[in-house]
Structure formats: structure tokens, C-alpha cells
Structure 1
Amino acid sequence: MMEKLQKAIEAVRPLDERAMEETRRRLDRLTKPPGSLGRLEELAVQLAGIAGTSELAVVRKAVVVMAGDHGVCEEGVSAFPQEVTGQMVLNFLNGGAAINVLAGQAGADVVCVDMGIKAQLKDERLISRNVRAGTANIVRGPAMTREEAVRAVEAGIGLAEELAAQGVGVLATGEMGIGNTTPSSAMLAALCGLEPEDVVGRGTGVDEAGLVRKREAVASAIRTNRPDSEDPLDVIAKVGGLEIAGLAGLVIGAAANRLPVVIDGFISTVAALVACRLVPAAQAYLIPSHLSEERGHRLALGQLGLDPLLHLGMRLGEGTGAALCFPLLDAAVQVLNKMATFDSAGVSES
């Protein structure tokens, strides 16, 4: 038990400083004022550090959409019924969701994973890593056992390994799970000692009464389960979600395989926070895509010391914000590879 997790944690290494310095020097020789391309230059340096070389290339990309159901839906915390989780997964598989459109525009694959959907879906395109048929209601007791939490994290690690072996060079985190902003809020509050009022947002668009129910559910879940803020696996098991645990594993697995991972919105960022509490060195492999409208997202990003690339007022999830950032990664690589230097272009320097 935990052998795969421990092995992955030990495999995560700091970024390659030599590759990063070579990339900085190359960028400073290009026909522009030093640093004038801002975050694109920072991305190029980070990608070089992750890859361990300044010789970067545009690589294959995949958005991993992990899905799971949540027992806390019994508390009326979502504007949508629980069966929408499975229905939307079928929509992903059939190419009809926002993530399919945005990933397709970026030339990226969409990989759908059943981490704990309540409905039994039969589709050969769906990757099954189902740990259990949805979590228990966290208001009344733990979401899952510790063993199940570990299994979910390790499933994410294993999937990152498989995708890396298939030639995927960049991963992005996506999720689907009706009600999942509630356990995400509970996890963030538990990990960081925050109050429900600080972290709970409207999720799928609940009204004022629904917002009150969500805050009460989060407060009750923490009071009932007493998650240990110093033990991320305990937090997952007591107030978390199966897809959130899987995404935490995906982040760790990506870092262990020296792959950058673009994180999406609130739920994905809470998963990344769990990953970094388990292995702090994984933080260097994260690329924050956008700032969600969900209340707790800014706080979660702040805990990770990350500044998102985009501010578009989005709150959909699915990996949509992450997919929008793929062209920025390609742009950073192409600037490094295709721009002329002052010497090659015959341009005078300042």
C-alpha cells in the first residue's frame, strides 16, 4: 500500500538550473528588449527547466478530465441533479462539451476517466479507474476510507505514467462531478485553516439559499470529520472527492515524469495544493491557467504562490481554462526557436 505513491514522490526532482540559465541567455539574445515578452519568457524558462534542456519542441498535449460523484449532493448544494455527472461524461466522449471544442482548437486530446461515477457507464472510450460508486455524504461521515483515497491518488499517478509513455508532453487537469465545489471548499478550509465563508462560492450557480446550504455543509463536514490539516491523505479521505484525489495523483505523476501540468480552476487547484502538500517540489511543474470566478480559487492559488495567466471570468471547470493556455505554451516555445538573434539578423543592440 502506497508503494506507487512513495516511488513517485521520490522521483520528483527540482528543475534543471543549467537548462533554465541557457534559455534565459538565449532569450536575451533575441531581437527584442530583454524580458519584453513577459510571461512568455518565464514560460519558456520553466518549460526548459522541466524538460532539462533548452532545446524545446512543440509537444502533444492532453486534458485529463476525471469524474466522480459526491454524496454531499443530498444536502442540496448544487443547482444540477447528480445524474448530470454521468450524462456530461458521455457528452465529453461524444465531443459535445466546451472542453472538446477548446481542446480541439488547441490540437489537444481529451482523456476521460471514471474515478467514482455512481452510474455504470459502458463505453470503450472511457478509462475506468473507479474506486467506488461516488463518495459518502461528508456532512454525516468520511467521504471514503484512507485506503480508497490512496488508491485514487495512485490511479492518477499511474495514468500520468501511461500518458507520458504514449508520448504526451504536457498534461492539463480537468474534472466533472456535480457538487464537487463543496468538497473542494471543505478541503481548502481544512488544509489552510480557513472559514467556510472565505472559501465557499456558488459553484454551478446556486441561489442565496443554496449558498447558505453549501456553507453549512462545509462547516458541518469539517466539524463531523475533523480532518488533519497536516495529513493531506486524511483530508482527502474525510472531506474530499475521488476525482480530486485522482487529479492530485496526476500532478505528482506528471512531475515524477518531468511533464508540465496546466491546472484549471478551483477544483483542479485544490487538487494541486494536495499534491504539493505531499511533495512540495511538484509546485515547480505547475502552470496556472486562469483565475476562476469561484470564491476560493484566488485563495488556493495564493497558497501555491501562483499567478494565473488568464482572467476571463470563467467558472465552468472541465479543463476549459487550461486548454486555452496550450497555445501560450506553444508560443513560448516558438519564440525561443524561431526568433532571430541580434547577431543573425544584423540588428544593433542597445
Structure 2
Amino acid sequence: MIGTFPNKAAIVAAARSLPASDSASVAAATSHDADLTKPAGALARLEDCIRHLAGWQQQPVPRLDTVAILIFAGNHGVTTRGVSAYPAEVTVQMVANFERGGAAINQLAKLHGATLSVMPLDLASPTEDFTTAPAMGEVAFLDAINRGAAAVPASADLVILGEMGIGNTTAAAALAAALYGGDAASWVGPGTGVAGSALAAKITAVDTALSLHGDAMRDDPLEALRRVGGRELAALFGAVLAARHNRIPVLLDGFVVGAAVAVLAKLADGGLSHCLAGHASAEPGHRRLLEALKLQPLLDLGMRLGEGSGAAVALGVLKAAVACHAGMATFSSAGVSNKS
């Protein structure tokens, strides 16, 4: 368990004291799997998923009875640079749509019996335009991280992370470039569907931010998040850190979520070992980011909606894995001969 972070030093300390997966539960799950009525390895990545869930839930037969989908929403000052196909007020409107149950993620949460929590983060006060100043001051930055950490229910079997924020693929591209190198063109994609002059404006905004903040962000992942991220990205980072300290496995959504949690990967070797990538987004930078994080997505459906939707679809894969592992007969109980 972790409490409130009073400063960046406390966050770094938490990132350097991460609990590990329970190897005994992984071994027990592997042993149980070997006795199920199927050839060894026949369920392929479903078996990998079981070992992952078992180790973090610390039980050989994992459960997905309580799945928490957390969506963090934030507004970005960089939208004044014309980087999105939609105006900033759409963030507020979409949060209202979530609350009314009208978005894709509402339907997917209902399908899987997952709880859905939507947390708007000071939407009336966008972050600063990061082409001219750091996106967040220290107080706002720490507040967003702490709110993200506090949102993680300690009783969850699995957490799915999602986001909403017009302009946040621009922030994600800037953050990914700050963490892993490269210029804006190698990370920026269409996001909400921009092309032509809007895409050029997006690339220019990211390159300008990298030039302005580059020295301050070098070798300091938290400072990169503060300077070119956003409130929802900071909250996502806080949530993935809290989930790790609670030993809760996490299913990640797309590019924005990936960029936010990559900060933990940079702060600690194996920082994201409790995470699975739900899908590969159509946003081109996401594939590059997944490769950098050494995460293999469960699905590749060309999705680019955000709001946790790709991860929520991938939840069906995890539920299939758990159903087989928990419900299949063993060779002895079914009276089926095992291989000699």
C-alpha cells in the first residue's frame, strides 16, 4: 500500500521499492495447467495470461470477479496550437457522455460486468501550453498523481486504465519522445484524425516542446511527465504505481496510457511487469512504444478510440483464459489418459 506523495522524491522512492510477482503462485498455476485435459501449451498466450494473473493476485487459480475500469480526463493548453480535429470542450462533453452511459466504454464495461469510474481532472483549467511553459506546476502535478493513485480500489482483481482528453495524443507523443528519443515526426500520429496543416501543427508543437524542455527532461522521467504531459497522464502514472504496490495486475489501453505508464518503466527496471498490453492502437507511435516497453499486445484490431476501449475488448481474452484454467477437467478427474 502507498499513501499520498508529498514530493517527487517520495514518488521515486516508491518506484524503487516495487513488490514482485509471487513465484509460488505462478508455479502452482503452471502445475495445475499441466494437468488440464489438453496438450501442454495448447492454449498458448492464454496460459501466459494465467501465469501473469496468478503471480500478481497471489493465487494459483486467478479470478476476474472485480474488474475496475478507470478513465481519467484532462484538458490541454497545447490545443490552442490547432493540434486536434476537435475543440477542447469535447473533453467535458465526452465525460458527460460517459456519465450518461452513452460511450463505447460503457457498453464494454456492461458486457463484462466491470465497474467504470470516470475522473475529470480540473477540466475548466487546462494545462499550460507546453510549447511555451511546463504543462503543470509542481502542485498540480503532484495532485494529479495522487488523485490517480487514490482511484485504484485495493480490492480489484484487475485494473483497466483509460483516458479522455482532446490534445492528449500530442502530449503522449512529446512524452514518448522525451523518454525514448527521436523527433516529433517519429512519434506523432493523426490522433483524432488530423492531417495536412493540423498534423504539421502537431509535429511543430512537439518539436518546439522538445527543444524548450529537453535539457530539463533529460534523465528525469517525472520532470518529462510534468513538463509535456497532462493531468490525466499524471493520474495514469499514479494509478499504475498504486496498482503495483497493491499487487493488482493492470491491462493497458493505447498510446496515451502507454506513454504515461512508460514513466514507471523508466524509473524502475521491470516497473511494468504487472501490466499487459490490451491492444496495439492504430496510432503509429503506439507500436514503437510497445516495442520499447517490451509488451506484446493481446489484440491488434486497428482501434484508435481511447477511453480504455481496446483494453476492455481484450478483457474478453483474459476472461477466456480464466474460464478455461478454472473450469476445465484434469486428466484424472475426466478419466482421460495423459501422454505416456
Q: TM-score range by the shorter chain?
A: over 0.9
Residue number in structure 2 paired with 1:323: 312
| Residue 62 in structure 1 maps to residue 68 in structure 2 | yes
SS at match of 1:172: strand
Contact 1:72–1:179, Cα closer than 8 Å, also in 2: yes
SS at match of 1:90: helix
Q: CA 1:155–1:6 in 2, change beyond 3 Å: closer, same or farther?
A: farther
1:33 to 27, 39, 44: 39
**CA-to-aligned-CA distance 1:284-342 (integer Å, 9 cap, x gap):** 11011000010110111111100000011100000001111222222222211111111
Q: CA 1:231–1:147 in 2, change beyond 3 Å: closer, same or farther?
A: farther
| Residue 196 in structure 1 maps to residue 195 in structure 2 | no
Residue number in structure 2 paired with 1:250: 239
Contact 1:106–1:324, Cα closer than 8 Å, also in 2: no
Q: How many residues align?
A: 332
| Distance across 2 between alignment mates of 1:61 and 1:81 | 32
Q: TM-score if structure 2 supplies the norm length?
A: 0.94
Shift of 1:281: 3.7
Residue number in structure 1 paired with 2:3: none
Of 196-205 and 219-228, deviating more is: 219-228
Mapping 1:177-216, distance limit 5 Å: 177-216=165-204
| Distance across 2 between alignment mates of 1:138 and 1:10 | 29
Residue number in structure 2 paired with 1:72: 78
**CA-to-aligned-CA distance 1:171-196 (integer Å, 9 cap, x gap):** 11110100100011000001111111
Q: CA 1:276–1:147 in 2, change beyond 3 Å: closer, same or farther?
A: farther
**CA-to-aligned-CA distance 1:201-260 (integer Å, 9 cap, x gap):** 000001222111111110001111224231111101111111001001100111110111
Shift of 1:11: 5.5
Consecutive unaligned residues in structure 1, runs of 5 or more? 119-132
**CA-to-aligned-CA distance 1:78-108 (integer Å, 9 cap, x gap):** 0000100001000000100111111111111
SS at match of 1:280: coil
Amino acid in structure 2 at the alignment position of 1:116: D
State, as a whole percentage, how many aligned pairs show the same letter.
40
1:82 to 80, 88, 105: 88
Consecutive unaligned residues in structure 2, runs of 5 or more? 1-5
2:329 to 315, 340, 348: 340
Mapping 1:237-316, distance limit 5 Å: 237-316=226-305
| Residue 102 in structure 1 maps to residue 108 in structure 2 | yes
Q: CA 1:267–1:110 in 2, change beyond 3 Å: closer, same or farther?
A: same
Amino acid in structure 1 at the alignment position of 2:120: D
Amino acid in structure 2 at the alignment position of 1:145: G
- Runs of 4+ with deviation above 6 angstroms: none
Q: TM-score if structure 1 supplies the norm length?
A: 0.91
**CA-to-aligned-CA distance 1:86-143 (integer Å, 9 cap, x gap):** 010000001001111111111111101022312xxxxxxxxxxxxxx12100111111
Contact 2:16–2:267, Cα closer than 8 Å, also in 1: no
| Distance across 1 between alignment mates of 2:104 and 2:174 | 27
| Distance across 1 between alignment mates of 2:54 and 2:30 | 10
